[in-house]
Structure 1
């Protein structure tokens, strides 16, 4: 039997051991219960039948002697032998599975009867304890269930799945590095299935599958009820969490605003203003030799920017004294906790009892709502005041004002004008305009520090751009050497910033390539799950079931060699520049940092505008050095922010 088991696979070996255990238990029962005799006989017959299976031997006469000297002929014979063994093994696996299931079906009435008698029949001195029947029956049922479960998962690609809990244990063990954990699996299998207690996640990294989900069969993959249930407390019915008609209404309004030249020009002015404020803070830190947390500063800059561009209010978090920002802290805490819900099977229980992370989430959302509703009230009051004074021109044309007006006139078709809906609009645009942009800026700065050759090449492009643009505009640049005073330095920075606008920034090809390369390796949204309305088959043949989740993984996709070549893990901005020196685009289903299909990011151009505006100024006039020993790791939340911030020292570069 040893030779046979070696060639017929793990199920054959497992089922053989299981049948032997089942035979011994059935024998014990049969000694006192005639109804078990049939089951015992059937098990023994199955054991005897499989014991007599022919096993191919190398000395089998059909294949001749193994002493054959001709190596070519010998190789052919061995090949035939292995093929026959393989066919034999597969046949044995199928027969073993089929026979064992037949035995289970035959013994089911006996097991049920034994369980009943265990409760109803009193024990006698001449029979085994009635409880034994029950325990043996339960053991057989559980053992059979485990075997069938393992058999069903024999071809599954992904982490090992256990009954009831799925892959929860492995996922929790790797939670702090989940994105890299997925990279390891997706580099071997382009599609990976991860079972969880109440649902199943299918992770995809193949552009063909991504296009199918995000475009070809878009309607079958909404955000879904599961995702909404996790994120509802934070994002509500906002554009990132909505589906159907509500999503279409918000997208239509937002797309109209983002397409407006007025908004684009206004955004450029605001982004320049806050980039200069950030430059002033860095200049003082450089002079004082202070350590700064660039991620925190970027978060402040982008929050101030989105509040002014999106909601028409100034909140002043980037003031020189850097005031405490309770909203940002609460928003980040809420973001972390709702992300944890995706793998925490007890979050609903904790929410019900108001304990643990869910209690903290409730407190954080309260602070977030206080800030958000105050912004809404302020904008509504300003609109009312402008109308009362007859000065309609004072009504700001920001995104929030547009939604307020639509709600008042009924143009939105209902559902967007109440404060709760406006609150959801605000928070969704905050996460889009603050977190994603600040996160990308942080990773860009880290990449520039880690690749000094890239930083130097970028600085040369910026210096050449400055000279060319100053000549075009007839601007006499303020002399600014290493020993320049604060006033001269600030004036030179302001001059350079005045040369930056939407059109001129388009000339900075290498800067654009550096930002895009950062997004390839460190996408602001590292993974994006979708619900499944109906059963479907992905282009690679993977079956997905209704009620489950399909998640495309930008973080993993950017590191796959089958997407980007052998140097996929390397930071190389040159991959985005063609032979003519122009920017080279990639398929949005391969480079998914801004999504693709009907849900492609509306703020893509605005995000590039703000990032390039800030980085052009900072990379032209400053050098950064990471604080020695400072850990740079991502934090598990919906956005790929840095867990410990980005602490560094800054110095002027003129």
Structure 2
């Protein structure tokens, strides 16, 4: 080939390469702008649905704020990239830590690096012990027994009950008992001084949690805190109530440890285990760090299960076939053909680990609930350096990147045309055995190095509560398409009168767990 032809060929190749690179740059463009933080505030009451509507249009998009860009995605490849492949580049970041610090301090939800690794290591060990598993299962059985008693009394009196409220109070009692070794008494509603203090703590905890969420969308929250006005003035009062209560519990536990000696070493609650760990290395953490650690576990273990159980019962009210199938499986896994095993305590004794593990359809129904109503509808990460996501969209240092479990559960491209239908069968194989999906598609428990340590812990609690309630009661809708449901007892030895259950009062996303990633 002579020189002119060779030069022309090389020029053509260079031109094609330049066009390819230009197209590549265009493909790696910044995500399209779908709105601003103002639009999010205007849609505050329906934020998960609003973000889902945008996700159907864009899959990956950004919302503009005065300080940075909020990038949202429902692409499983992007999720895997930020949670596992390039994990080091996506963490909590300084902004998230600052927003959450007043309530959660240096707990595992709001930190990166050494502090996260230390807490993760200690927590991983504790959550893997049989001691905590057996202790927590006992707490869950006791709490389910209390729930059944309240339900039976209400059924006998023909009273209406909010199951959402009962679940919220019972899960708070459960996690407080497991976390602090203290009976909070939220479910029983006792009027003792200690329980009144516990009720004040619970209210402050709820209010402070919601205010933390609101801070992510309020560009003026720092100014309000500095001036001590409006919601931030209330935030200080709530945090003070929380701290007074928690530090009193810690001081009492330390006093008990000094008094009981060897007997204290048998304690199984998380606070006692951390105090014993501190005995080995007195300089490893102080009371403030203990307070932060336990509050983080509380926020992880309370609203998550309460919300899921509430939506679970609501969906079972809407489809009697599914409810009957779950109840039948519970009966077959525990009492078999024996219709009467005695009281509720005798039944809970039948809820062995093997029995709970064999309830594949119940597990599928709870998982389907989490797919449609995840406790964390949108989880936030901070981008530490400029990067390009697998779908070609660029993100910059300081951007927050949000993957969206709520929206992902409603994407037809992920779950087919029936994506918005409640269908537990989608999780079962031909033999009725539960088959999990990729954690980057079903993201309710996060994935990668920060995958939720309490996943099995949460399933155990929900399965015990659900099994007891569905063995003893039958749930029916009060009216078709109504917000109310009716609950009838299904055993002849219980009253056949009715109690009522409300549809869960709000969409996921209005509580603190919507911004707290799994630990």
Deviations 1:571-602 (A, max 9, x none): 11010001121101100111111110000001
Mapped partners of 1:445, 1:365: distance in 2 = 33
Are 1:179 and 1:555, in contact at CA under 8 Å, matched by a contact in 2?
Answer: yes
Determine whether 1:463 maps to 2:331.
yes
Determine whether 1:518 maps to 2:369.
yes
Determine whether 1:496 maps to 2:347.
yes
Mapped partners of 1:348, 1:359: distance in 2 = 11
| Structure 1 residue 477, shift from structure 2 partner | 6.0
1:555 pairs with 388, 403, 406, which one? Answer: 406
Gaps of 5+ in 2: 1-28, 485-502
| Structure 1 residue 155, shift from structure 2 partner | 7.7
Mapped partners of 1:320, 1:231: distance in 2 = 30
For residue 159 of structure 1, what is the aligned residue in structure 2? 34
For residue 274 of structure 2, what is the aligned residue in structure 1? 403
| Structure 1 residue 462, shift from structure 2 partner | 2.0
| Structure 1 residue 288, shift from structure 2 partner | 1.1
Are 2:33 and 2:64, in contact at CA under 8 Å, matched by a contact in 1?
Answer: no
Are 1:220 and 1:532, in contact at CA under 8 Å, matched by a contact in 2?
Answer: yes
For residue 596 of structure 1, what is the aligned residue in structure 2? 447
| Structure 1 residue 614, shift from structure 2 partner | 0.5
Determine whether 1:430 maps to 2:298.
yes
Mapped partners of 2:483, 2:367: distance in 1 = 28
Are 1:526 and 1:638, in contact at CA under 8 Å, matched by a contact in 2?
Answer: no
Are 2:333 and 2:355, in contact at CA under 8 Å, matched by a contact in 1?
Answer: no
Determine whether 1:575 maps to 2:446.
no
1:585 pairs with 431, 436, 439, which one? Answer: 436
Mapped partners of 1:237, 1:576: distance in 2 = 37
Mapped partners of 1:569, 1:435: distance in 2 = 23
Evaluate the alpha carbon distance shift between residue 371 and residue 521 of structure 1 in structure 2; reply closer, same or farther with a 3 A threshold.
same
For residue 276 of structure 1, what is the aligned residue in structure 2? 145
For residue 260 of structure 2, what is the aligned residue in structure 1? 386
Are 2:299 and 2:512, in contact at CA under 8 Å, matched by a contact in 1?
Answer: no
Q: SS of the residue aligned with 1:188?
A: helix
Gaps of 5+ in 1: 1-153, 161-166, 480-490, 642-654
For residue 355 of structure 1, what is the aligned residue in structure 2? 229
For residue 372 of structure 1, what is the aligned residue in structure 2? 246
| Structure 1 residue 555, shift from structure 2 partner | 0.6
For residue 506 of structure 2, what is the aligned residue in structure 1? 633
For residue 294 of structure 1, what is the aligned residue in structure 2? 163
| Structure 1 residue 565, shift from structure 2 partner | 1.1
Q: SS of the residue aligned with 1:202?
A: strand
Mapped partners of 2:473, 2:131: distance in 1 = 31
Mapped partners of 1:343, 1:620: distance in 2 = 43
Mapped partners of 1:444, 1:507: distance in 2 = 19
* Structure with bigger RCO (C-alpha 8 Å, 6+ apart): 2
Are 1:230 and 1:341, in contact at CA under 8 Å, matched by a contact in 2?
Answer: yes
Are 1:522 and 1:640, in contact at CA under 8 Å, matched by a contact in 2?
Answer: no
Larger radius of gyration: 1
Evaluate the alpha carbon distance shift between residue 237 and residue 614 of structure 1 in structure 2; reply closer, same or farther with a 3 A threshold.
same
Mapped partners of 2:93, 2:284: distance in 1 = 20
Determine whether 1:203 maps to 2:98.
no
Mapped partners of 2:277, 2:30: distance in 1 = 53
Mapped partners of 2:86, 2:136: distance in 1 = 35
Determine whether 1:225 maps to 2:94.
yes
Equivalent pairs counted in the alignment come to: 459
| Structure 1 residue 320, shift from structure 2 partner | 6.1
Mapped partners of 1:640, 1:545: distance in 2 = 23
Evaluate the alpha carbon distance shift between residue 477 and residue 559 of structure 1 in structure 2; reply closer, same or farther with a 3 A threshold.
closer
Q: SS of the residue aligned with 1:193?
A: strand
1:309 pairs with 178, 183, 186, which one? Answer: 178
Mapped partners of 1:394, 1:283: distance in 2 = 38
For residue 50 of structure 2, what is the aligned residue in structure 1? 181
Mapped partners of 2:352, 2:182: distance in 1 = 23
| Structure 1 residue 451, shift from structure 2 partner | 2.2
Mapped partners of 2:309, 2:332: distance in 1 = 23
Are 2:256 and 2:264, in contact at CA under 8 Å, matched by a contact in 1?
Answer: no
What TM-score, normalized to structure 1? 0.67
Q: SS of the residue aligned with 2:57?
A: coil
| Structure 1 residue 192, shift from structure 2 partner | 1.2
CA RMSD of aligned residues (A): 2.0
For residue 439 of structure 1, what is the aligned residue in structure 2? 307
Are 2:30 and 2:393, in contact at CA under 8 Å, matched by a contact in 1?
Answer: no
Are 1:500 and 1:613, in contact at CA under 8 Å, matched by a contact in 2?
Answer: yes
| Structure 1 residue 546, shift from structure 2 partner | 0.3
| Structure 1 residue 321, shift from structure 2 partner | 4.9
Q: SS of the residue aligned with 1:587?
A: coil
Evaluate the alpha carbon distance shift between residue 427 and residue 499 of structure 1 in structure 2; reply closer, same or farther with a 3 A threshold.
same
Evaluate the alpha carbon distance shift between residue 329 and residue 624 of structure 1 in structure 2; reply closer, same or farther with a 3 A threshold.
farther
Are 2:365 and 2:424, in contact at CA under 8 Å, matched by a contact in 1?
Answer: yes
Mapped partners of 1:640, 1:534: distance in 2 = 25
Aligned positions of 1:69-218 closer than 5 A = 156-160=31-35, 167-218=36-87
| Structure 1 residue 629, shift from structure 2 partner | 4.8
